[in-house]
């Protein structure tokens, strides 16, 4: 079984309240000099081989469903491991 990873992150120019909250919390905990943006990670187990067509299909799915492309950017890749 092959695995494809889809990372979905808020676009850089978009406010990221979650990342802001985490950045602040880390600071208060004494972890300084760290700026965080928070996004989503999807691990997709694919039945059968991950052909280029299959990958395109997943890209399509990411665009349609996994990411809200108005405010998020996504990245699709085959899991290295």
Residues found near its own copies in the complex (CB under 8 A): 7-9, 19, 22, 25-26, 29, 31-48, 57-58, 60-61, 64-66
Closest to 37 measured CA to CA, from 71, 63, 81, 80: 71
Report the distance separating Cα 37 and Cα 51, nearest Å.
31
Shortest Å, Cβ 20 to other proteins: 7
For residue 56, give both structure tokens. 């395109």
Q: Smallest distance, Å, CB 81 to other proteins?
A: 20
Q: Of other proteins, its own copies, none, which one does residue 50 interact with (CB within 5 to 8 Å by kind)?
A: none
């Amino acid at each position: 079984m092959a695995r494809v990873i889809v990372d979905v992150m808020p676009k850089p120019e978009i406010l990221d309240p979650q990342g802001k909250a985490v950045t602040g919390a880390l600071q208060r905990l004494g972890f300084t000099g760290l700026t965080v943006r928070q996004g989503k990670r999807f691990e997709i187990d694919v039945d059968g081989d991950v052909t280029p067509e299959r990958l395109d299909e997943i890209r399509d799915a990411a665009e349609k469903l996994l990411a809200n492309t108005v405010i998020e950017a996504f990245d699709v890749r085959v899991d290295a491991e």
